Structure 1
Amino acid sequence: MTEEIGMDKPIVLVVDDKLSAREAYRQMLKNDYEVVLKGNGREALEFVKQRPPHAVLLDIKMPDMDGIEVLRQMKEICPEVEVVMVTAYASLETAKEAMKYGAMEYLIKPAGIKEVKEAIRKAVSRRMRKARFDEKLLMLLSFTRSVTSSLDERKVLDTILEWAERFFEAEMIWLYKTDTATPELWASKGELSGSDEMLREAERIAAETMEGRELIVESERGIAGLPLIARDKVIGAFVFRSPMLREEEIGPSLKSLLTIFSDHAAIALENARLYEERKRVEEHLRRSKEKLKSALNGIIQAMALAVEMRHPLTAGHQRRVAELACAIA
Structure 2
Amino acid sequence: MVLELLIAEDNKFTSTQYKKFLESKGYKVTIFNDGAKCLEKFTNELRYRRVVLKDKSSPYHCVLLDHDMPKMNGSEVYEKIRKICPEQKVVFLSAYGQTILKSQEGTREASLQIIQKPFSLDFLLKKIEPKSFVSIKRTNVNDGILTATQSSETIR
- Output the TM-score relative to the length of structure 1: 0.33
> Aligned partners of 1:35, 1:98: CA distance in 2, in Å?
26
Structure 1, residues 253-304: CA drift from partner, whole Å, max 9, x if none?
xxxxxxxxxxxxxxxxxxxxxxxxxxxxxxxxxxxxxxxxxxxxxxxxxxxx
| 1:10 paired residue number | 3
8 Å Cα contact 2:97/2:114 also seen in 1: no
Q: Give how far 1:123 is off.
A: 7.2
| 2:100 paired residue number | 94
More helix by share: 1
Query: Which of structure 1's runs of 4+ aligned residues deviate more than 6 A?
Result: none
8 Å Cα contact 1:57/1:85 also seen in 2: yes
Q: Percent identical across equivalent pairs?
A: 28
| 2:39 paired residue number | 45
Q: Which runs of 5+ in 2 are unaligned?
A: 46-58, 135-156
Q: Secondary structure at the residue paired with 1:13?
A: strand
Q: Secondary structure at the residue paired with 1:9?
A: coil
2:108 matched to 1:115? no
> Aligned partners of 1:124, 1:57: CA distance in 2, in Å?
14
- Output the TM-score relative to the length of structure 2: 0.66
Q: Secondary structure at the residue paired with 1:80?
A: coil
8 Å Cα contact 1:84/1:104 also seen in 2: yes
Q: Which runs of 5+ in 1 are unaligned?
A: 1-7, 127-329
| 2:27 paired residue number | 33
| 1:69 paired residue number | 76
> Aligned partners of 1:69, 1:101: CA distance in 2, in Å?
17
Question: Considering only aligned residues, what root-mean-square deviation do their CA atoms show, in Å?
Answer: 2.2
Among candidates 52, 56, 62, match of residue 55 of structure 1: 62
8 Å Cα contact 2:67/2:73 also seen in 1: yes
> Aligned partners of 1:82, 1:124: CA distance in 2, in Å?
11
Count of aligned residue pairs for this structure pair = 118
Q: Give how far 1:44 is off.
A: 1.0
Q: 1:18 and 1:123, CA in 2 relative to 1: closer, same or farther beyond 3 A?
A: farther
Task: Map 1:241-280 onto structure 2 (within 5 A).
Answer: none
Q: Give how far 1:49 is off.
A: 1.6
Q: Give how far 1:18 is off.
A: 1.3
Q: Please tell me whether Structure 1 or Structure 2 has the larger radius of gyration of its CA atoms.
A: 1
Q: 1:26 and 1:101, CA in 2 relative to 1: closer, same or farther beyond 3 A?
A: farther
Q: 1:101 and 1:67, CA in 2 relative to 1: closer, same or farther beyond 3 A?
A: farther
